[in-house]
Amino acid sequence: MKVLFVYYVPSGGVETLNRQRCRALRLAGIESHCLYYSWGSGMQNPADFPIYVTRNDIEIKHILDSCGFNCIVVTTDHASFPRFRMLGYQGKMLLEIQGYGPRSVAQAQLTQAIPYVNAYADGLLNPNTPHISALFRDLYPNKPQFNFNNCFDGTEFTYRPSGIHASPIIAWLGRIEDNKNWREFLHIGHQLMAHVPDLQLWMFEDNQLSIPSEREQFHALIAELGLSDRLTIRANVPNAQMPYYYSIIGDSGGFLCSTSKVEGAPYAVLEAMSCRCPVLTTDSDGVSTSVYHNETGKFYVLGNIQHAVQEGLELMRSPGLREHIRTRAKNHVHESFNPHLYAMNFASMLQAIGL
């Protein structure tokens, strides 16, 4: 069985997902390839499966003809379905949604996709994201729908003892864009400093995907809040190095702060949890399968800076609760996002659509 995963650019959570699942699906005898339309920072991450980067129809047709894929899984780009048919592909096709950002965008995009999905897609896939699952049910009542967690190899991407950092660190990971809500992180960090004088802020970003106007506002707010001497920005860190950073953050007494307004199934949260780095997050919908309040992480109310500070301080000052969360979170990743479980669910999905 051969599957092709298609996405715009190898970056962020989808690139991580594709690396994880191309390896996991071998457990079910499924050979996986990836096609991206343009180059992205994720290409620096090592891969032991075929990756193609092109939007040229002749090159894509050659890939399709020479590889003989049984199924194409298209992430987000529903308009590509007729293109693949035009290029001669006759196999099964699935539309996968890992997240669109704001719910209004998800509603608009999935409504726009109706004629494409009804004409070409054999099914719909999403990683148990509540608002996406609800839209699937409302807009596509007659299409097969598959909802199961993404996979994560917590044995490879795992805690690495690092020694205690001199100062506690709170971290953020994402793109400098509105939905990732970087402004809220800076305000939370600024207010936490009144309670934790030696606090350090670390931000990890893909600086190739930001909007110029947002970046200008980003630097302006850093200056306004006087954060320059406390803030370290790291761009395009190879994924293989991130366990080192997450472990340092967790051992420092700090945490990962996820401020997103809406998420599909954020990999940064799983990565931190696997490395014993506690997570404080908004209830951004897609985190509902990974974070359980005061069990595997902590929630705060989106937009409520004081609530975030309160929950963050409890996470930093309550060693018993902190250790409970760190241990439960790591175990939860191993149990609920296991690559074997993903391979079984994916193989069952392919069987259900006739493969």
pLDDT tens figures, 265-279: 889 999 999 999 999
Is 174 domain-assigned? yes
- Least trusted range by pLDDT, from 118-127, 264-273, 317-326: 264-273
Alpha-carbon dihedral of residues 320, 275, 6, 174, nearest 10 degrees? 70
Q: Let me know: does 158 contact 244? Beta carbons within 8 Å.
A: no
Is 177 domain-assigned? yes
pLDDT at 191: 97
- The Cα–Cα gap between 133 and 289 comes to 13
Residue 174 shares a structural domain with residue 306:
yes
Residue 143 shares a structural domain with residue 81:
yes
- The whole-number average pLDDT for the span 207-226 is 89
Q: Report residue 204 as tokens.
A: 């990890």
pLDDT at 211: 79
pLDDT at 308: 98
pLDDT at 263: 85
Query: Tokens 């930093």, residue?
Result: 316
Residue 73 shares a structural domain with residue 136:
yes
pLDDT at 210: 75
Q: What's the mean pLDDT when you consider all of the chain?
A: 95
Element (H, E) at 244: helix 242-251
What is the largest distance, in Å, between two alpha-carbon atoms of the chain? 63
Report residue 195's pLDDT band, with 50, 70 and 90 as the boundaries: very high
Report residue 345's pLDDT band, with 50, 70 and 90 as the boundaries: very high
Residue 343 shares a structural domain with residue 326:
no
By CB atoms closer than 10 A (0-12, 13-18, 19+), residue 262 is buried
Express as a percent the part of the chain with pLDDT over 70: 100
The neighbouring-strand residues paired with 34 are 5, 51
CATH code at position 122: 3.40.50.2000
Residue 53 has pLDDT above 80, yes or no: yes
Residue 109 shares a structural domain with residue 257:
no
Residue 127 shares a structural domain with residue 195:
no
Is 140 domain-assigned? yes
pLDDT at 166: 84
- The Cα–Cα gap between 102 and 29 comes to 36
pLDDT at 110: 97
pLDDT at 21: 97
Is 163 domain-assigned? no
Q: Report residue 19 as tokens.
A: 């690396």
Considering only residues 179 and 82, tell me which one the structure prediction assigns the higher pLDDT. Answer: 82
Considering only residues 40 and 36, tell me which one the structure prediction assigns the higher pLDDT. Answer: 36
Report residue 42's pLDDT band, with 50, 70 and 90 as the boundaries: confident
What lies within 8 Å, CB to CB, of 156 at 6+ separation is: none
- The whole-number average pLDDT for the span 225-235 is 95
Residue 323 shares a structural domain with residue 182:
yes
Handedness of CA 286, 289, 293, 295 (dihedral sign): negative
Is 156 domain-assigned? no
Half-sphere exposure of 92 (CA within 13 A, CB side): 18
Range of the domain at 296: 169-336
Residue 48 shares a structural domain with residue 184:
no
Residue 105 shares a structural domain with residue 205:
no
Residue 133 shares a structural domain with residue 175:
no
The total domain count for the chain is 2
What pTM was estimated for this model as a whole?
0.90
pLDDT digits (tens, 9 = 90+) for 3-17: 999 999 998 889 999
pLDDT at 82: 98
pLDDT at 162: 78
